[in-house]
Amino acid sequence: MSNTPSQAWSGPLLTVLIRGGLIVVLTLFCFRVTRPFLDLLLWSLILSVTLYPLHCRLRDKLGNREGRAATLVVLLCIAVLLVPVYLLGASLAESVQNAVTALKGGDIHIPPPDASVAGWPLIGERLYAVWQQAAVDLAGLVQQLIPKIREHALGILGALAGMGAAFLVFIGSLIIAGIIMAFGREGHRSAQRIASRIISTQSERVVVLCTATIRAVALGVIGIAFIQMLLIGVAFVMMGIPGAGLLALAILLLGIMQVPVTILTVPVIAFVIVTQGANLETIVFAVWTLIAGLSDNVLKPLLLGRGLEVPMPVVLIGALGGMVDSGVIGLFVGPVILAVAYKLFWEWVENPAHGDPPVIATGAAPAERQA
């Protein structure tokens, strides 16, 4: 006799549904609780995986002391960060103060525009009128723009506050990453056990692939962008370029989004030569800035692991999407997470697990397919 509907629902099917429902409810609740800290935890995990080889070297030199090695790594990273952040912040504050003082004292003189500017399509007439007013009466133009500046002042202050908060979050992520590195061996074994539960075969390969991808993207994309920002930003500060801090931040963003920074450094070099003349100091600055702007072509083969290259669109989408979703922190976390997902997807496509149908090349002969 077949089971009635009530008997079927009271059997194993009901038990499976109840278990599944409880798991879903528990997962959603855990996600809601950890959502405010998700970016912090992800960034901590990325930093710990990236910095763990350095931690291992220091641990071996310190007599296999995990805690001291992790603390030393965190302190070194904070020291390396504080110097450029202080220089760029001081340069930004000085640039703003000098601009305000120059505006109040009337020391800024703008040359009048050429008559051909008015003939430019779409924006020519309006640009010519604004430029001409700035050349004749800059103070009056500033007075007219003050209401619009006030409207966007809160947004600008919010962006600056967001950058400051992101820096504090980064410091917190470094501290948490140090704790993770102190228990790195146990964490690696836990990752292997979790992967073996999710993927019955090739779990070790998946763990190695994720680790290598995180390190490759973090060093080959974010690390190179930070190095370029440091090299070029310090040169901007030493040359006294207005807004050197903002320009250095723009270089960092361009580097993460895989856009050549020469689109920004070349105009700055031209500005320096035009305003300060062609002398030994400006020539050295131009050569240094050009070399630093092209340094990614040398650093990428050294820092980006061979065979772990990630296409530029993946990094760009990850950077832009992460920035839109989570602000400045998402700009760093997004490319890494999307790159890991990209590599895992193609690992699944190109290396099917045992028992999956084999991948057949399109256009292969029947004999080759049987072989």
Predicted local confidence at residue 347, as pLDDT? 79
Report the mean per-residue pLDDT for the chain: 76
DSSP string, 213-254: HHHHHIIIIIIHHHHHHHHHHHHHHHTT-TTHHHHHHHHHHH
Average pLDDT on 318-331 reads 76
DSSP 304: S
93-146 pLDDT, tens digit each? 666 676 667 666 665 666 777 677 677 777 777 777 777 777 766 666 667 766
Q: How many CB atoms lie within 10 A of CB 369?
A: 10
Residue 90: alpha-carbon gap to chain centroid: 23
**CA 234 to chain CA centroid, nearest Å:** 20
Give long-range contacts, CB 8 A cutoff, 24+ apart: 346-352: 347/205, 347/206, 347/209, 351/202, 351/205
CA distance 76 to 68: 12
Look at residue 152 in the predicted model and tell me its pLDDT: 64
- 83 closest CA partner among 202, 203, 231, 220: 231
**CA-to-CA separations, 359 to 199, 347, 350, 365, in angstroms, rounded:** 19, 12, 7, 14
Is the predicted pLDDT of residue 359 greater than 60, yes or no? no
pLDDT in tens, 33-49: 888 888 788 888 888 88
Question: What confidence score (pLDDT) does residue 275 get?
Answer: 77
Amino acid at 362: T
Torsion of CA 317, 320, 322, 324, to 10 degrees: -140
Contact assessment for residue 258 and residue 308, using Cβ atoms and an 8 Å cutoff: no
State the pTM of this model.
0.65
Q: Which residues contact 272 (CB under 8 A, 6 or more apart)?
A: 239, 241, 282, 285, 286
Q: What sections of the chain are H helices per DSSP?
A: 5-9, 12-34, 38-61, 66-105, 124-136, 138-182, 184-198, 203-217, 224-238, 244-256, 262-276, 280-293, 296-303, 312-350, 366-370
Quick one: average pLDDT of 276-290?
86
Mean pLDDT of 181-186: 85
Residue 172's pLDDT is 86
